[in-house]
Structure 1
Amino acid sequence: MNHPPIISISKLSNWVTKIKELSSNKRWLELLSLYNDLNKSGVQFTEPTLFHPILKACSVTSFRHGKSLHASVIKLCVVESCTSIGNSIMDFYLKAGILDSTFSVFDNMKVRDCVSWNIMISGCIDHGDYDRGLSTFKDARAAGFETNVSTLVLVIQTVNILGALHEGQKMHGYIMKTDYLAVSSVQNALLGMYANMAVEFAQKLFDEMPDRDVIAWSVMISGYVRSDNAHFGLGIFREMLAQFGKEADGQTVVSALKACTNLKNYVTGKALHGFVVRKGFYGDLFVGNSLIDMYSKCNDPDAAFQAWNDMPLKNSVSWNSLLSGLVCNGNHSEAINLFMSMQKSKIEPDAVTLVNLLQVCKHFADPLICKCVHTVILRKNHEFNHLIINTLVDVYAKCNLICFAQRLFNSMKIRDTVSWSTMIAAFTHCGLPDEAIKVFNEMIQTQEKPNAVTVLNLIEACSCYSELKVPKSVHGIAIRLGLATETTVGTAILDMYSSYGDIITSKKAFSQIIDKNVISFSAMIAACGMNGLPRDALCLLTEMEMHGIKPNSITILSVLSACSHGGLINEGLSFFQKFIKSQEVKPNLEHYSCLIDLLSRGGKLDLAMELIDQLAKGKNVGASAWGALLSGCRTSYNGNENIQEKVIKHVLEFEPNNSSGYMLASNVYAARGSWDAAARFRAMVKDKQVKVVAGYSMVHVNNACCKFIAGDKHRFLLKEILEELHKCMKMEKIQVN
């Protein structure tokens, strides 16, 4: 029988000293090697304090040796007698990410102290098992566990992550019974929890705090900004500066800049920029990036570039923020130049960079650039990034490369709602509505639930159809999905029916919208105007104002157009005067062009001409205004020959390659009986090789659509078409009688 070797006390003491020395110097490999040598020689340790450094070495270097040491500890029955060793073993398994083994050790411990519970709670939370961590904390409290500040803060943060407001309120109650409420870190953790879930509770706690540090102020500002109350957030920031101007830190400034960005508050944002310079925050990357974002969102790309240029240090977020700003503000050429600078500076393009580049491709609709970006995407292994691939499908469609878009879509292993909606929009954009609807049907078969964007894309596809059968089906889909009452979808539906001349169904769709806004009212006003109901349009305007919704520029344009096409000259003039006096919306050239059309249609060519002359003094009068006046000249020609000649001259100067100007001029002369002049203008169209878009009519017979183009003498009327037309005419006659 083999017996353990007899070791002198002095030799054992030397080994103990050596182990502690290696541990204090973090020479873990040497420590583990020494332990292995001793273990092989048959030396057994019973001193509990030696197991802690050895387990620490195992957690850093070798999990296998740690498990072996755990087995040795179990054989020696040390865990039951020494809680600290159990804690070290639990810590070892936690660092290895094995929660189940940690709980197994914990459950077998006869005596647990505060360290044991803290290890378990923090371990669960650190490994993302938040529910288990919170449950362990409750068990600890039931067992009489006395928490410490760090664990308490960690649990509050866990409640915040879970969004469990009720649990957070219970935690607040527990803390109030202890002395921890006076600890600033605990107060700030509670404040952050409330600011993230219920900012009104955060405000109440904030008001009760006798001493507020910069963290508390920053938490309140960011809380208001996140809850879409950026105005209140800026107010808190101003109050903070009045009391703690010298203590504002970079995080607080970032939150304040975010508030300015959300509010598009350029003036305050610029003032904050000055504050940043005075306080020396320019070295803070977050502050610099927030400045770039603020200027970009406030439509000042030059100031964004200057802020970017002034940054002493830049990261990929800095470059991407400026790139996004240039794209959003329509500076596409500058965006390409910036990307070239990124390449020269060895800044690797990430997903954000590539999505912005794809937006530039969409603007230029250049297939070559799009394919080049696609190559970069493949080279950088971003072909599985959903955002990038969905954007790429959309861009290929905008470049009229629908085959590439479809091929890319078909290659996607996982498709979400955005992917399906993008492909539907792609086919619609390329004039392939049948394929768009086919994709939608495939989407339904995969049990992917459509959203509002999907339905909006389907409605847009319906605009390519000449009958209401398919649009009605889409309307039914929207109703079944519960989306017909949403503002965006409901507005699109009423607009769809309006374009088909079904104003009755348009009104029904409008009445079903729950939250009507200025866009839905404007669309309904435009629908009434387009379908010959100008009085209804004016009534809708009154109803809109009664609901406290102020008209925007589109609403005003729709009302003027309705009055113009409905012959309500005086009402239109009266409305425009009211609109000018209110000064709520500044009139633009489109409004004046519509007013000129109103006057021209009413035969008031002198007033229309006088208005154009006034506009010419301060604005660049466009072709639309002169075209509206020329259209009026066609019906009101008596005694206005001089005006007509002047108008025709300007229209042809503005749009020499547009056939409508020549046709209108020809019709004006024809109305005056000047047939030679009328013929001369029509001949000019051929001489100048101006492309003429011919009008056409469509007739449906037996589910087939037949198109008849003006001037086409080669189309033979089929017997079925004549019979269908005859039938329709008979039905109309019966209804009239």
Structure 2
Amino acid sequence: MYINPPVELQKKIQPLPLPFSHQNSPPPPPPPNGLLSPPLSSPHPHHSLLQTPPQTLSLVSQIRTPTPKTLTPPPHKPPKFSESRAFPDSLPLHSKNPHVVYRDIRRFARLGRLREALAILDYLEHRGVPVNATTFSALLSACSRLRTLALGRQVHVHIRINGLQSNEFLQTKLVEMYASCGAHEDAMGVLSELSPRSVFTWNALMRGGVTGGLRWGGSPLRVFAEMREAGVGANEYTFACLIKSFAGSPALAQGMKAHALLMKNGFAGAPTLLRTCLIDMYFKCGKARMAMKVFDEIPERDIVLYGAVIAGFVHNGLKREALEYLRLMVEDGVEPNSVIITSILPAIGEVSERNLGREIHGFALKKFRDYNKLVFILSGLIDMYSKCGDIVSGRRVFYGSSERNAVSWTALMSGYASNGRLDQALRSIVWMQQEGIRPDIVSIATVLPVCAQLKALKPGKEIHCFALKSWFLPNVTISTSLITTYSACGCLDYSRRVFDGMTKKNVIAWTALIDSYIKNGYPSIALDEFRSMLLTSYRPDSITITRILSACGDLGALKLGKEVHGQVLKMRLNQIPLVKAEVINLYGRCGEIEKARRVFDRVQSKGSLTCTAIIDAYRSNGRYKEALNLFEWMLSNGFIPNNFTFDVVLAVCDKAELHERAVKIFDSMVREYELKASEENYDSVIGLLTRAGRIVEAQSDTSPTLFDWINITISMEPHHDASDWARVELVSGRVSKDLIGLDEPTQVRFELQE
């Protein structure tokens, strides 16, 4: 049978948005069915922030593009869409038989191009060509994966038109699709048409609920209970869906009940699938010991079990344990696959095991020749090398790849940002477009914090515009990053508009808004926003509490601070180190040093944060001797001071005019604790010595290789005579000679404090 396409088919089939370069390539075609990006004159809540939306990110005018040595030539771009190229081998549509067209529909579904697939379905319906159940199954699976309810309903209509509404297999897929998309009533409607209802249909309903992140009637046990009441026996896949529904939720008690029910029904010793689900559930509930108890009871362990254990350890932040079980897996003769390597690479980066990462790098290149498997491993390798501080190796992996995608570009961008190369991270968003790769949501969420750190308002606005045109908004993560970016640039009105335009807010977004007011010097407005947050259904977390406590300290609002402290005790956040330190800071800044000391004494597990907070509290209340005594107590009890601790202690020595002790403390910081002195550390020591009239000593206590950080300061007081100025001239001359010998340009600041 031959199919002659009408002219309308080319209009209805829209191509996947093509990647565009920055300068010459056209923008992607608009979504079909009127889903056009709204003009800036439309009442979108964010459009008032943007003047002229650029077609793409126009950062090239500000940022130098890479040389050919650092950027390989872009790959061949895909051709523009045409009807002759819509199918494999560039064959025209009329030369295909129905089975080949069915295969092409399934290919579109696999690629997520459901609108093109539905356009072909409309054409087949117009020609009276039937479609088989396998093709509809592929379309429903794609709708479940992408959670596109509207397109799923269109597929349902086509199933009815083709007379397959009584097909039990398709009805089961429909139940799963509706459940995955959150349409519980539609799922139950399809379920009611089934008679009798088999265990596979009930499993599909539960599986769809797990995929969609839903909790039926407040409890995942409800569907299971209805299934048992209907007299349908459960199989191992039923219990697997039930156990997965508890993973990642606080419903540990229900998960343990499911475990007990599993053993009661005779599934205790057999299927590996169920044991893997139990291990995953316990890990995601934060119970690593219970997960390992299940693992230890399994005599024969395969790669799936080891993969669940390694991923569980990584999920709970137990990086060393994950690496240990990777070693045990290899000793048991189980060879890692691409999934395990992808999950273990972040753990290697976190613990900076670069040599182990290089071994896994070599193993991956030797074992995996399939690019689809290797591309995610390469992105993980870039991230791993970047976390180990070896951005050069990360770049080598990136530019050594023949094909790069948005995932690998985002990994490189994140690596640049984590290693302090913010300019290169910002340039990467342009470079990837010049290579024909369109930034995705993760890329935008990665580059926005870079704009915040650089206080780059114009690029931030351009990225905001790109997110609007790409329909990435309202996305909570991107909206929160935009709030932070505009706040860092001092544009609080923009941050407020972005927040007000969010359809769904969460605790992180509220915290970002509160923090933006605090950092820009409006703590009273931050407190008002905190009160507004309490009137909603969202409850503050530990980060929100610390920011509010900081605002109370800035305003000296002791009464409100006490109320927040009460909330801390009520929410059982008083043992979190950052929260404990902020409570101590609050009482110290409000002059309640005795209350600060009582809070400190009641802390069960003290650390450098709480010790630094109580030392700073004594410093702010002028009790310098007690502050230094606490510092000595901190060292004698084995607590390791950090840079901020030394900043506080040096400030105490400055106020108490303990010059000799300040020099000794500074020396121990650099030599004994091997901490890299910051600009503030040098400012504190040099300022302390120069105000004591010991300018030459201040110069001699610093290293010539660090003169790019030095701030030579002298206090202008009446007793400073010509000899003091002569010493300043002597030091500045010595600095000039040192700077001449440096290879790189260096910035030195000379300040006169009145």
TM-score normalised by structure 1 residue count: 0.66
Relative to structure 1, is the Cα distance of residues 503 and 658 closer, same or farther in structure 2, using a 3 angstrom cutoff?
farther
Q: Aligned residue for 1:332?
A: 422
The residue that corresponds to 1:729 in the other structure is: none
Q: Deviations over 1:303-342 (max 9, x none)?
A: 2222222334433222222222223333232223321222
1:301 touches 1:326 (CA, 8 Å); kept in 2? yes
1:369 pairs with 2:459: yes
TM-score, L = length of structure 2: 0.64
Q: 1:651 to 1:501 in 2, by over 3 A?
A: farther
Rate the CA distance shift 1:312–1:157 in 2: closer, same or farther, 3 A.
farther
The change in CA–CA distance for 1:528 and 1:221 in structure 2 (over 3 A counts) is: same
Does 2:735 match 1:646?
no
Q: 1:224-623 residue pairs with structure 2 within 5 A?
A: 224-244=313-333, 247-280=335-368, 283=371, 284=373, 285-444=375-534, 449-458=539-548, 461=551, 468=556, 471-482=557-568, 485=574, 487-495=577-585, 498=588, 503-504=593-594, 506-507=596-597, 510=600, 516-545=606-635, 548-568=638-658, 572=662, 582-583=672-673, 585=675, 591=681, 594=684, 608=698, 610-612=700-702, 615-616=703-704, 619-620=706-707, 622-623=709-710
Query: C-alpha deviations, 1:672-719, integer Å up to 9, x for none?
Result: xxxxxxxxxxxxxxxxxxxxxxxxxxxxxxxxxxxxxxxxxxxxxxxx
Aligned equivalents of 1:195 and 1:418: distance in 2?
24
In 1, the alpha carbon distance for the partners of 2:243 and 2:526 equals 49
Aligned to 1:220: 309
In the TM superposition, what is the alpha-carbon distance from 1:249 to its structure 2 partner?
A: 0.8
Q: Partner amino acid for 1:287?
A: I
Segment of structure 1 superposing worse, 598-607 or 311-320? 598-607
Whether contact under 8 Å (1:250, 1:281) holds in the other structure is: no
**Given the superposition, is the C-alpha separation of residues 213 and 404 from structure 1 closer, same or farther in structure 2, using an over 3 Å criterion?**
closer
In the alignment, the residues of structure 2 paired with residue 342 and residue 639 of structure 1 have an alpha-carbon distance, to the nearest angstrom, of 60
Counterparts of 2:159 and 2:747, CA distance in 1: 82
Instruction: For residue 354 of structure 1, report the CA deviation from its aligned partner.
Output: 2.4
**572-581 vs 401-410, greater mean Cα deviation:** 572-581
**Whole-Å separation in 1 of the counterparts to 2:692 and 2:354:** 44
| Deviation of the 1:378 alpha carbon | 2.3
1:63 aligned to which of 123, 139, 160:
160
- Structure 1 residue 230, shift from structure 2 partner: 1.0
Is the partner of 1:394 in helix, strand or coil? helix
1:491-528 C-alpha deviation (Å, 9 max, x unpaired): 34544565566645654564566654312311322343
**Against the structure 1 CA distance between its residues 120 and 450, is the aligned structure 2 distance closer, same or farther, given a 3 Å change threshold?**
closer
| SS of residue in 1 equivalent to 2:641 | coil
Please state how far the C-alpha of 1:104 moved relative to its aligned partner: 4.2
Partner of 1:725: none
Distance 2:157 2:497 in 1: 49
2:622 counterpart SS class: coil
The Cα offsets for residues 644-696 of structure 1, whole Å up to 9 and x where unpaired, read as 552465689999997842x56xxxxxxxxxxxxxxxxxxxxxxxxxxxxxxxx
SS at match of 2:333: helix
Cα separation, 2, equivalents of 1:588 and 1:658: 15
* RMSD of aligned residue pairs (Cα, Å): 4.7
**CA apart distance, 1:234:** 0.2
Deviation at residue 233 of structure 1 after TM alignment: 0.6
Q: Which amino acid aligns with 1:331?
A: R
Contact 1:282 1:288 in 2 (8 A): no
Q: Deviations over 1:268-306 (max 9, x none)?
A: 323322332233368322212211222233333332222
Q: Which amino acid aligns with 1:533?
A: R
1:210 maps to 299
Q: Do the aligned partners of 1:605 and 1:632 also contact (CA within 8 Å) in 2?
A: no
Change in 2 beyond 3 A, CA 1:551/1:156: same
- Work out which of the two has the higher radius of gyration on C-alpha atoms and give 1 or 2: 1
How many Å separate the matches in 1 of 2:239 and 2:553?
60
Partner of 1:679: none
Q: How does 1:86-125 map to 2 (within 5 A)?
A: 91=172, 94=175, 97=178, 98-101=186-189, 104=192, 109=196, 116-125=198-207
Q: Per the alignment, do residues 91 and 227 of structure 1 end up closer, same or farther by CA in structure 2, a change over 3 Å counting? A: closer
Equivalent of residue 169 in structure 1, options 247, 259, 265: 259
2:172, 2:204 within 8 Å by CA — same for their partners in 1? no
**Distance in 1, Cα, partners of 2:669 & 2:480:** 43
When structure 1 is superposed on structure 2, of 97-106 and 255-264 the one drifting more is: 97-106
Contact 2:588–2:596 (8 Å) recurs in 1: yes
State, as a whole percentage, how many aligned pairs show the same letter: 23
Q: Distance in 2 between matches of 1:262 and 1:393?
A: 28
What amino acid maps onto 1:339 in structure 2?
A: I
Distance between the aligned counterparts of 1:552 and 1:457, measured in 2?
21
* Offset from partner CA, 1:390-429 (integer Å, 9 cap, x none): 3223322332333333344444455444444333333444
For structure 2, the 5+ residue unaligned runs are 1-97, 104-120, 131-154, 179-185, 740-745
Q: Which amino acid aligns with 1:389?
A: S
Distance in 1, Cα, partners of 2:689 & 2:716: 8
Over residues 334-382 of structure 1, what are the superposed CA-to-partner deviations in whole Å (9 max), with x where a residue is unaligned? Answer: 2233212222333233322223333333234343323322322222223
Aligned partners of 2:173, 2:681: CA distance in 1, in Å?
74
Seen in structure 2, the aligned counterparts of structure 1 residues 123 and 583 have a Cα distance that, compared at 3 Å, is closer
Partner of 1:718: none
Unaligned runs of 5+ in 1: 1-21, 36-57, 71-84, 665-737
User: How many angstroms apart in 1 are the aligned matches of 2:488 and 2:169?
Assistant: 61
In 2, the alpha carbon distance for the partners of 1:499 and 1:382 equals 43
Distance 1:437 1:651, change over 3 A: farther
Q: CA deviation at 1:231?
A: 0.2
User: Aligned letter for 1:472?
Assistant: L
Distance in 1 (CA, whole Å) between partners of 2:731 and 2:592 is: 36
Q: Which amino acid aligns with 1:402?
A: L
**How far apart, CA to CA, are the structure 1 residues paired with 2:498 and 2:248?**
37
Match of 1:307, SS? helix
Structure ranking higher in helix proportion: 1
- Contact 2:176 2:207 survives alignment (8 Å): no
Q: Tell me the distance in 2 between the aligned counterparts of 1:407 and 1:155.
A: 42
